[in-house]
Structure 1
Amino acid sequence: MDKLLSSRFNHESLPGDYIFPPELRPGDLKIPFSSSISVIDLSEAQNGDRTNTIQKIIKASQEFGFFQVINHGISENAMNEVRSVFKELFEMPEEEKQKLCSNDPSKKCKMFTSSVNYATEKVHLWRDNFRHPCHPLEQWQHLWPENPSRYRECVGSFSVEVKMLASRILSLISEGLGLECGYFEKGLTESVFLSINHYPPCPEPSLALGITKHSDPNLITILLQDHVCGLQVFKDGNWIAVEPIPNAFVINIGYQLQVISNGKLISAEHRAVTNSHDTRTSAAFFVAPSDECIIEPAEALTDEHHPPIYKAFNYKDFNSHYFAKYGNTDIVLKSFEVQKG
């Protein structure tokens, strides 16, 4: 593995192995923010307007697969503190960060540059990444880094709050789809995986990418954006920038929720672009089923007029297929569709 981007001091020119082919380059980086990405006030659901909140979430999930939430119950102090810890993590001396790096595919907690396929990929991503499981907390917390010294405590308490937020949102989605209470509890949300992306300033951002176009393989993603913009969603053939709203979380629908909803909700394609001035650090909490969980369209959402679009599958098998076909959204779900005729 090459040296971490956050440990290099010369970013004056973009190395050739970071330049994407013309058809994949981000090109124009001055994409406007879109007002069509809903910003939903979750406090309304607690203050007697639950039905209206549910309708907004379902509409956004059907049309966009993306929305933002404010007044979600996680304090501004907690959000700022965890951002500070993530920043501190990538600013540690090189020798400290190297302790977290590993080429061992079985290691659950590790840091790397670009992707885990660095040695074989044709073009590298302009990012460093640190990832690890964080639920159940008692199973994983002892594997997290001891430096920064407050990492375990701060990220641990924050991840518990994020898991609770995910449960609240999924409860609203469940009600909006007409599913039974508690449908998304237990096996469907047994795993939470944290992925922290760190994007240093890039010398030629129009030629590079932080993350290529993809949809998330999990159930639902809770994203803590940085104050620096970089997230873009693909909608109707165009890229739309997602505005970094203070104290908001970005929520996006994963493939598993698209399958369970029998295609009523969509998992939108998205990417991360870079910039030449500011470092950007974002943290995605991937809420996912257990490996052995069977995923299929909810029985309540299928009948003779609405037959299942997808066949039942094991989540572990889906994940293996997803990472083999990563980046090719059209192919990923095709293998799991019910064949017609």
Structure 2
Amino acid sequence: MEILMSNWTDVQSLPKSFVFPPDRRPGENVFPVCKNVPVIDLEKAEGLDRVETIQQILNASQEFGFFQVINHGVSESLMDDTMSVFKEFYGMPAEYKASFYSNDINKSCRIYSSTLNYNAEKVHYWRDNFTHRCHPIEDHIQHWPEKPARYREIVGIYSVEVRKFLLRILNLISEGLGVEPGYFDGDISKIQLLSVNHHIPCPDPSLTLGMPEHCDPNLISMLQQCSVPGFQVLLEGKWMDVEPLPNAFLVIPGLQLKVHDNLSN
């Protein structure tokens, strides 16, 4: 079969290379839904509720390790257009996507299936992943897909707006930690990656997983779930579903940020 799963059609049974050992399969379990995910209204950080909003962000980061953000400043239409253009990219002909295929972590723009260790892993994860660098755009946009035709325009605007949003969050965190304004604006945040996971319909989700369990090693991550379920977090020793919140971003402070948090205390 083609390595890229997004090129597959009419998959009737799960290939053996995607079947996990019994002790790692999700099985038929119905996972509990995390009902108390912190929701941060970012507009309030610009008014009288700024101090309270900063404290909510710090509390959520320490107690949950993630939080949802509404009124983040990125328009709903841009969010929808961006998801649409990603879908168009994954629907492009196989030979076009193959031109971006690589497991080289240093490549500016790459697509692969499962993980970057595909050839060595014993079992594969049920996903394709498309990743490229975004900042500064002028250094990387020439490596982005030219098709679909509006990809570079829309994703370029989206990347800039998301970066502004994440720097706002980082500046609020630095203010709450008592470090100087703009602490995270320099070299520590100069690398910006966009990562798009694509999961085709699975004939038996009880036997496989969509991606590896992991802790984000970077400074901070933002996830746009749209209306797609499946994102899970480990809380108090239990895997729990996080339901998508319309037009919200899910923010995950990474391990680098936790190190800086420890150093500031």
What SS does the aligned partner of 2:206 have? coil
Q: Aligned-pair distance for 1:245? A: 0.8
Question: What letter is aligned with 1:178?
Answer: G
1:243 corresponds in structure 2 to 243
2:93 corresponds in structure 1 to 93
Q: Aligned-pair distance for 1:255? A: 0.7
Q: Determine the C-alpha separation between the residues in 1 that align with 2:75 and 2:184.
A: 25
Question: What letter is aligned with 1:225?
Answer: Q
Report the TM-score when normalising by structure 2. Answer: 0.96
1:253 corresponds in structure 2 to 253
**1:199 and 2:199 correspond:** yes
- Greater percentage in strand: 1
2:22 corresponds in structure 1 to 22
Unaligned runs of 5+ in 1: 263-296, 302-341
- Greater percentage in helix: 2
Q: Does structure 2 retain, via aligned residues, the 8 Å contact 1:2–1:113?
A: no
- Could you say if the C-alpha distance between residues 86 and 65 of structure 1 is closer, same or farther in structure 2, counting changes exceeding 3 Å? same
Question: What letter is aligned with 1:165?
Answer: F
Q: Determine the C-alpha separation between the residues in 1 that align with 2:119 and 2:189.
A: 32
Report the TM-score when normalising by structure 1. Answer: 0.75
What SS does the aligned partner of 1:247 have? coil
Question: What letter is aligned with 1:61?
Answer: S
Identity score, percent: 52
Q: Determine the C-alpha separation between the residues in 1 that align with 2:165 and 2:62.
A: 20
Q: Determine the C-alpha separation between the residues in 2 that align with 1:145 and 1:93.
A: 13
Deviates more, 1:247-256 or 1:97-106: 97-106
1:325 corresponds in structure 2 to none
Query: Of the two structures, which has the highest relative contact order with CA contacts closer than 8 Å and spacing of 6 or more?
Result: 2
Question: What letter is aligned with 2:18?
Answer: Y
Q: Determine the C-alpha separation between the residues in 1 that align with 2:209 and 2:259.
A: 29
Q: Aligned-pair distance for 1:6? A: 1.2
Deviates more, 1:75-84 or 1:44-53: 44-53
- Could you say if the C-alpha distance between residues 29 and 176 of structure 1 is closer, same or farther in structure 2, counting changes exceeding 3 Å? farther
Q: Determine the C-alpha separation between the residues in 1 that align with 2:185 and 2:12.
A: 49
Unaligned runs of 5+ in 2: none
Matched pairs, number: 265
Q: Determine the C-alpha separation between the residues in 2 that align with 1:169 and 1:102.
A: 32
Per-residue CA distance 1:92-124 (angstroms, 9 max, x = gap): 121221122135554221111112211111110
1:115 corresponds in structure 2 to 115
Q: Aligned-pair distance for 1:2? A: 4.2
Q: Determine the C-alpha separation between the residues in 2 that align with 1:179 and 1:67.
A: 22
Question: What letter is aligned with 2:96?
Answer: E
Q: Aligned-pair distance for 1:48? A: 2.0
Q: Determine the C-alpha separation between the residues in 1 that align with 2:173 and 2:105.
A: 34
- Could you say if the C-alpha distance between residues 26 and 193 of structure 1 is closer, same or farther in structure 2, counting changes exceeding 3 Å? same
Q: Determine the C-alpha separation between the residues in 1 that align with 2:126 and 2:205.
A: 9
- Could you say if the C-alpha distance between residues 47 and 204 of structure 1 is closer, same or farther in structure 2, counting changes exceeding 3 Å? same
2:187 corresponds in structure 1 to 187
**Which segments of structure 1 move beyond 6 Å, counting only runs of 4 or more?**
none
2:159 corresponds in structure 1 to 159
- Could you say if the C-alpha distance between residues 108 and 44 of structure 1 is closer, same or farther in structure 2, counting changes exceeding 3 Å? same
Q: Aligned-pair distance for 1:29? A: 4.8
Q: Determine the C-alpha separation between the residues in 1 that align with 2:91 and 2:191.
A: 28
Q: Where do 1:1-341 residues align within 5 Å?
A: 2-104=2-104, 106-262=106-262, 297-298=263-264, 301=265
Q: Does structure 1 retain, via aligned residues, the 8 Å contact 2:226–2:247?
A: no
Q: Determine the C-alpha separation between the residues in 1 that align with 2:32 and 2:41.
A: 23
